[in-house]
Copies of this chain bind each other. A is one copy, B any other.
Amino acid sequence: MPITGRTRLFGILADPIAQVRAPEVFNALFAERGIDAVFVPFHLGSRDLAAAWPAFKAMQNLGGLIATVPHKAACATLCDALEPAGRMIGAVNTIRREPDGRMTATMFDGDGFVAGLRAEGHEPRGKRVLLLGAGGAGSAVAFALAAAGVARLALANRTRGKAERLAAEIRNWFPDAPVVVGDADPTNADIVVNTTSLGMNEGDPLPIAVETIPPAALVAEIIMKPATTPLLAAAEACGNSIHHGRHMLDQQIPLMADFLKI
């Protein structure tokens, strides 16, 4: 369907931008459903986001935005209303522009990750999880794993205080959550999840010493490009089952599309 003056606009806010997959995924969805809309990349740096925000509120043909690194937390502060998942995590990745310009947002990363595990046959309930990283994506995954009823949720982050703050926030919403904070020690873990950015860029060190991971543990990523990170490649070479980053986004697409009224 050609883009005309009547075509509705959707976009993704990101920096860097080259690796984002949302334009391809959503434009395929528009084509499939015969919707006159287009999804484009908006490359904005962190320090420009707040100044750029009024444009998106004012853009009358904008249906909504997806936010990814490094904008998820900043978008939560800029939006006019947050759904519970966005409030809990203090970060959002899906923003609907209401016809009056109000921006309503939520976060589907956590639900998408858990749905991705399940879609691949890995039920997290009752499992012992080591989660690497306590940033925006890590928080979303941690909250969703706590909600899914894991048996242990160990948080390991380079800056330990950040992991401790996340643990406290999780207990605030889920008082009985079995959250602990510690080193990147996978002993007894059933699932190891990397939510750090290590693996996105060539030459990154591995986020964990792969040989310490129990052979029966599942090693999961949320990085989408490269599809198979050095961590996943190393884990696979050690005989571990692996879980690709793309499942988190794949499982979010229908949730995002509903929220954006696509």
Contact = CB atoms under 8 A, between A and B. Distances in A.
Given A44-B60, A59-B44, A18 B5 contact: yes
A3 B39 CA distance: 8
Contacts of A20: 4-5
Nearest to A19: B5
A237 to B, nearest CB: 29
A143 B190 CA distance: 75
A60 B4 contact: no
B44 A24 contact: no
A84 to B, nearest CB: 29
Contact of A17 (B17, B51, B52, B60): B60
A23 B38 CA distance: 11
A59 B38 contact: no
B58 A45 contact: yes
Given A2-B24, A20-B5, A21-B5, A61 B43 contact: yes
Contacts of A62: 43
Interface stretch (A6-14, A88-96, A103-111, A213-221): A6-14
B55 A9 contact: no
A255 interface: no
A41 interface: yes
Contact of A4 (B7, B23, B42): B23
B59 A43 contact: yes
Interface string A184-222: 000000000000000000000000000000000000000
A3 B58 CA distance: 24
Contact of A60 (B24, B38, B43, B58): B43
B5 A41 contact: yes
Interface of A: 2-7, 9, 12, 14-15, 17-21, 23-24, 27, 38-45, 48, 51-56, 58-62
13 contacts: A2-B23, A3-B24, A4-B20, A5-B17, A6-B18, A9-B42, A43-B59, A43-B60, A44-B55, A48-B54, A48-B58, A52-B58, A52-B59
